[in-house]
Amino acid sequence: MNLFQALILGIIQGATEFLPVSSSGHLVLAPWLLGWNHPGSAWYLDPKDPFQLAFDVILHLGTTLAVLVYFWRDWLAIAQGVFHAIRQRTIDDPKAKLALLIVLGTIPAAVIGYALDEFFERMFQQEAAAAAFLLVTATFLFLTERLGRRERDLEQMTWLDALLIGLGQALAIFPGISRSGATIAAGLARGLKREPAAHFSFLLATPVILGAGAFKILDLAQAGDLTGRVPALVVGFLGASIVGFGCIHFLLRYLQRHRLYPFAIYCVALGSISLIIAAMGWR
């Protein structure tokens, strides 16, 4: 992987991790559509290269940094609320309640991801499946925009809301199903307003993204000496973190007045084009 590839993949990860268009789907389809996964290509990305594992971890850490920095005040308030709840032995504090909801929402993805890790790894080798799941993401966004009531704020969330949104996050383990899209759509389906649904989606993303990166770090012993690949790792990390931070800010502001339809249309377009290319054997 050269610096250009590292930058492009870092930007893709940073943008699509938070915009409701599926980072996993893009990281499967982008190298395929660009021809980077074909042996003999000057841009070839070798899936067996241990560096690929390290790079994947770095991208996750980059997006984790983005969400931690953007929501640092929220996380500080949540930590204070948890401390207060432990000391007072009550969860009357709204921030302590929010912490509990985040924990509940994290459970489905953690359990399903751990139990079916090898199955989902095989799914990442199937470009047509990633393209098809983009159409599923588009369907989620269209339906919840049409049917969601959008009446409640973050403070009015219940434990059932958190679990159902968490199930939406668990579905995003499939490449092509957007994590932010599935969780925001689940929030809208439960009657949350757009901006609070996105806010909770991003807070819920933090332990999952951090956990995924930490879990993969355990395998980094296979990567060997990466000293000569540090520039590519740094470029990917910076691309993911800086673009991720900007996309969080953009989407929260966008959803205050606008709908999710443009993202759904984009998913339909990319998914359909990719399926056609796969069916015609052009890649």
Cα–Cα distance measured from residue 210 to residue 200, given in angstroms and rounded to the nearest whole number:
16
Confidence of residue 119 (pLDDT cuts 50, 70, 90): low
> Which of the pair, 41 or 72, is modelled with greater confidence?
72
Task: Assess if residue 44 is contained within a domain.
Answer: no
Residue 111 lies in a domain: yes
- Predicted confidence band of residue 147 (pLDDT cuts 50, 70, 90): confident
By mean pLDDT, which of 51-55, 171-175, 228-232 is the weakest? 51-55
Quote the mean pLDDT of the chain: 84
> What pLDDT sits at residue 281?
75
What is the C-alpha separation between 186 and 133, in angstroms, rounded?
A: 16
**Is 213 within a domain?**
yes
Residue 244 has pLDDT above 90, yes or no: yes
- Note the pLDDT tens digit of each residue in 18-49: 899 988 888 888 888 888 866 555 555 666 66
**CA–CA dist 82, 89 (Å, integer):** 10
Domain count, the chain: 1
Structural domain contains residue 189: yes
pLDDT band for position 186 (50/70/90)? very high
DSSP 3-state of 21:
coil
Residue 138 lies in a domain: yes
Residue 42 lies in a domain: no
Q: Is residue 238 part of a domain?
A: yes
pLDDT of amino acid 241: 95
Expressed as residue numbers, the domain containing 122 is 3-11+21-37+50-280
Does the pLDDT of residue 74 top 80, yes or no?
yes
* Nearest by Cα to 133 from 277, 276, 272: 272
| Any domain includes 43 | no
pLDDT digits (tens, 9 = 90+) for 200-228: 999 998 888 777 766 666 666 555 666 66
User: Would you state the pLDDT for residue 165?
Assistant: 93
pLDDT band at 124 (very low <50, low <70, confident <90, very high): low
Specify the DSSP class assigned to residue 192. B
